[in-house]
Structures are given as structure tokens and as C-alpha cells.
Amino acid sequence: DSGVTQTPKHLITATGQRVTLRCSPRSGDLSVYWYQQSLDQGLQFLIHYYNGEERAKGNILERFSAQQFPDLHSELNLSSLELGDSALYFCASSVAGTGTLETQYFGPGTRLLVL
Amino acid sequence: GESVGLHLPTLSVQEGDNSIINCAYSNSASDYFIWYKQESGKGPQFIIDIRSNMDKRQGQRVTVLLNKTVKHLSLQIAATQPGDSAVYFCAENRAGGENKLTFGTGTQLKVEL
């Protein structure tokens, strides 16, 4: 158990809908990262938040957004869902943020299925 | 068009043998490398890391070797056990960058009894 929690574990929804995935980092970690794992793209970085501020964006679609709250939990919002958004979404956390190279610890993931 | 799943290289080893999983990375500016293990239905689990100022690091039953000249990383697992069966990913990061991990495709390790 990495100490990173994610809810829900599974999510089934329809095209065009919007969903929110939630992540709680390890105690003491200030950075949260979101990754998408799909069959055809592997593990891809989406976005990084540090202490409530966005620090880096990767291959994140405009339909997707995220935020990190004062209690450091983070939410990833996916809207206007398409079939191709079906994937595993992982959250990871680390102690600090940019400027340091640290291990990122991953949560168990949310499996999203868009029908 | 039809999407095709990633074809993962597969390494099959006998229980008790040593396993060597290889990874080639592309960014010569990468400073930090991590090996993760991912079991079916679970998130990537940290195994071992190494910084670019080192060429070898050992953990419990695992050793990571880094060859910066040819941009190659390997993970050696000693006395492989059935519980080691999983997909193994290498990931790289770069100092001064965005602190995002870039993952390799992964290798499926199968341990045969």
C-alpha cells in the first residue's frame, strides 16, 4: 500500500457525460500528479499540482481539468467523455515539487469505462 | 481506425532463476530513473531508483544498472519468485524539467514454476 488513495475504483458512464476522479496523496506529500494508462498509449503524464498550484501539463486534453485543494487532495474532471477516454487513471504523489527529483508513489487507480 | 494494444515484450523465467529486464531511454538529459512493478489491476509500485551520477544500485533482491553512454537501464531480480510476475516499467525524469515521469512501454515478466 503506497498511502495514496483514489476513488472510485471503477466508473462506468456514457459518452458526453462528465466525471470527477478523486485522489488523496500520502501524508506529508505536497505534490500530486495525474497519469492516464491506456492500451494503445501506455502510461502518460497528464498534469502536476504542487501545494494547490498547477506546475506542469502534459498530454492533457482541454476537456480535462484538475485542481488541488487546501487539504492537498486533488480532483481530475473529465468532461464530454468519448469512448477513447476509457482508461486507467492514476494519481501519484511526492514530497516536494519541481526543482527536486523524487520518487512518485502511485495510487491504485480509477478504471473508467465510457460506453 | 482500430486501436491496437501495446505489444509488451515478455520475459519468461523459471522460479529461482535470475531475471534481467532491460530498458532503453531516449533523453540524454534524464537524471533520475525509477523501476516500477505493476500487477494486474493495481497501480505501479516503486521498486528501486537510481540517479545519473551512479551506475549501479542494489536493493533487496534487485539491482539496477545504468549505462549512460548507451542510454540503457536494466533491472536484475535475483532468485525470481512467482510473486514477481508482473509488468515492469522503467521511468525517467529530468532535473530542471517539469518533474513528470516518462514511462517506457513495459516488460511482462512471467515466472514459471
Tell me if residue B31 falls in helix, strand or coil: coil
**Given the DSSP bridges, would you call strands B45-51 and B56-58 parallel, antiparallel or unpaired?**
unpaired
Cα–Cα distance measured from residue B15 to residue B21, given in angstroms and rounded to the nearest whole number? 15
Q: Which residues of A touch B (CB under 8 A)?
A: 2, 4, 31, 33, 35, 39-45, 48, 55-56, 58, 84, 90, 92, 94, 97-109
What is the distance in angstroms between the CA of the first residue and the CA of the last residue of chain A?
A: 31
- Closest CA of chain B from A27, distance in Å: 17
Interface of B with A in 3-42 (CB under 8 A): 3-6, 31-32, 34, 36, 42
Average pLDDT over residues A49-74: 95
Q: Which residues of chain B make contact with A97, given a CB cutoff of 8 A?
A: 99
- The pLDDT of residue A99 is 62
Is residue B99 very low, low, confident or very high in pLDDT (cuts 50, 70, 90)? confident
pLDDT tens figures, A3-20: 999 999 999 999 999 999
- The pLDDT of residue A40 is 77
Closest among B107, B32, B110 to B64, alpha carbons compared: B32
Residue A43 is nearest to which of B89, B93, B98, comparing CB atoms?
A: B89
B90, closest residue in chain A (CA to CA): A43
More confident residue, B8 or B64: B64
Chain centroid to CA B52: how far? 15
The Cα-based distances of A103 to A12, A32, B10, B84, B95 in angstroms read 31, 12, 26, 21, 13
Contact B10, A79 (CB under 8 A): no
Closest among B33, B43, B57 to A105, alpha carbons compared: B43
The Cα-based distances of B61 to B16, B57, B77, B80, B112 in angstroms read 12, 11, 6, 9, 18
Q: State whether A48 and B99 contact (CB < 8 Å).
A: yes
Whether A98 has a pLDDT exceeding 90, the answer reads no
* Residue A30 main-chain phi, psi, to 5 deg: -100, -20
pLDDT tens figures, A25-40: 999 999 999 999 998 7
Is residue B3 very low, low, confident or very high in pLDDT (cuts 50, 70, 90)? very low
pLDDT tens figures, B39-98: 998 999 999 999 999 999 999 999 999 999 999 999 999 999 999 999 999 999 887 767
Average pLDDT over residues B9-31: 92
